[in-house]
């Protein structure tokens, strides 16, 4: 995956031979809700219409006003005299039908007073039907939203319960038998299994601090197959020893260790490495401030030597963190991590 053409993002990620440009689009939450073609009475929420055909119903409603309800499949208000008009109209017709006057309207132009009175009654009846349809849609929409909210609450409770149980209990990953586990995992002369810790997270951090130097922890990421990251992965040989220590310390079944590492440990380790970087930057800032304070007052240069702090071994920053520190001081994060490419 490594290629000669590599670019670096503002956050320091190495883009090895980008294949596809992913445009930055506003999140769906930032986008305006879709404009529903339904009437304003139905647009109580941003939810899409329950039935996609509601769009068609809405368009038909244009035609229904002032006409007779002849195209509502679920309603049977037709009388037999409308059959002629219905024969020439089709539900599947498009805008032409909507824009064209319905044939029923042609009958309202009759000079017969009886027909006029009948059409007025039909119009009033249609308006009442439309109002009823709107009310039904509103009730359905409200009921759907209420049920969705209830479902969301239940789902969130279930999710949190699953996550809490998964994070809090090691028992589900432990082996049923104590056989097959090592009594010692040596790192030099230190048996890693003798290290005491409050919990597996604390133990993992201590083991990492034993296996790796602070520089390595601050300049590396967890071992991964991907090569597009700016920081190099931790040494895989020592990381296998880390896995051995964790698995043997807490008697985790070998067939469940992957799941344990993925769900319980990985995130802790990622945050640990990130926090190590922050801590080192903080230490470096303190060291820099102390040096500046020592250099500024000339009359204090002859002060006792215990003010002069010698940099610790773990305070030697890698190149990219020095760059990051300088960028932090400049309040300009746009140029960080640009000089630490391999």
Partner DNA sequence: TGCAGACAAGAGTCGTCCAA
Partner DNA sequence: TTGGACGACTCTTGTCTGCA
Among 22, 35, 74, 189, binds DNA (CB under 7 A): 22
Question: Phi and psi of 36, rounded to 5°?
Answer: -80, 140
Q: Which stretch binds DNA (CB under 7 A): 24-32, 34-42, 102-110, 125-133?
A: 24-32
Least separation, in Å, of the C-beta of 130 and DNA? 36
Residues numbered 160 to 179 that lie near DNA (CB under 7 A) are: 167
- Looking at the chain, how many residues does it have? 342
Pair of tokens at residue 179: 């056989």
Binding region for DNA (CB under 7 A) out of 21-29, 32-40, 99-107, 248-256: 21-29
CA quadruple 246, 250, 252, 257: dihedral sign: negative
Residue in 111, 68, 103, 112 with CA at minimum distance from that of residue 85: 103
From 18-26, 31-39, 54-62, 146-154, give the range in contact with DNA by CB under 7 A.
Answer: 18-26
Selected binder of DNA within 201, 257, 259, 294 (CB under 7 A): 201
Number of amino acids touching DNA (CB under 7 A): 47
Tokens of 303: 């002060």
For 233, what's the count of Cα atoms within 13 Å in the CB-facing half-sphere? 13
Q: What tokens appear for 3 in the block?
A: 């290629």
Instruction: Say whether residue 1 binds DNA (CB under 7 A).
Output: yes
Contact set for DNA, span 269-328 (CB under 7 A): 270-275, 277-279, 282, 324
For DNA, the closer CB: 70 or 323: 323
User: Contact, 221 vs 273, CB < 8 A?
Assistant: yes
Are the C-beta atoms of 42 and 138 separated by less than 8 Å?
Answer: yes
66 or 201, CB closer to DNA?
Answer: 201
Cα 60–65–69 angle (5° rounding)? Answer: 65
- Measured in whole angstroms, the distance separating CA 123 from the mean position of its chain's CA atoms is 51
Output 137 or 212, the one with its CB closest to DNA. 212
Catalog residues that contact DNA under the rule CB under 7 A. Answer: 1, 9, 11-13, 15-20, 22, 24, 27, 29, 167, 199, 201-202, 205, 221-224, 226, 228-231, 262, 266-268, 270-275, 277-279, 282, 324, 333, 336-337
């Amino acid at each position: 995956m490594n290629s000669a053409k590599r670019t670096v993002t503002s956050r320091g990620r190495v883009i090895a031979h980008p294949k596809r440009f992913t445009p930055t689009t506003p999140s769906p939450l930032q986008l305006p809700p879709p404009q529903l073609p339904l009437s304003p009475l139905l647009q109580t929420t941003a939810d899409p219409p329950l039935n996609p055909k509601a769009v068609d119903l809405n368009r038909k409603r244009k035609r229904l006003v002032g006409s007779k309800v002849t195209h509502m499949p679920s309603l049977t208000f037709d009388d037999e005299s409308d059959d002629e008009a219905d024969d020439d109209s089709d539900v599947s017709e498009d805008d032409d039908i909507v824009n064209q006057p319905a044939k029923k309207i042609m009958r309202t132009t009759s000079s017969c007073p009886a027909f006029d009175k009948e059409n007025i009654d039909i119009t009033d009846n249609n308006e009442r039907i439309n109002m009823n349809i709107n009310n039904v849609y509103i009730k359905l929409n409200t009921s759907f939203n209420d049920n969705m909210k209830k479902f969301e609450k239940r789902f969130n409770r279930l999710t949190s319960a699953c996550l809490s149980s998964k994070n809090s209990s090691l028992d589900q990953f432990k082996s049923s038998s104590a056989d097959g586990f090592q009594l010692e995992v040596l790192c030099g002369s230190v048996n890693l299994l003798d290290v005491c810790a409050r919990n597996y997270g604390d133990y993992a951090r201590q083991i990492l601090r034993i296996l790796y130097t602070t520089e390595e922890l601050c300049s590396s990421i967890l071992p991964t197959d991907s090569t597009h990251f700016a920081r190099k992965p931790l040494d895989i040989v020592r990381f296998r020893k880390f896995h051995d220590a964790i698995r043997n310390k807490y008697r985790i079944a070998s067939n469940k260790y992957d799941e344990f590492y993925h769900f319980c440990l990985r995130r802790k380790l990622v945050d640990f490495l990130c926090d190590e970087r922050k801590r080192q930057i903080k230490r470096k800032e303190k060291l820099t401030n102390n040096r500046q304070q020592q250099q500024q007052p000339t009359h204090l240069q002859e002060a006792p030597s215990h003010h002069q702090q010698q940099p610790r071994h773990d305070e030697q920053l890698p190149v990219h963190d020095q760059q990051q520190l300088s960028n932090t001081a400049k309040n300009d994060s746009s140029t960080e991590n640009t000089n630490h490419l391999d």
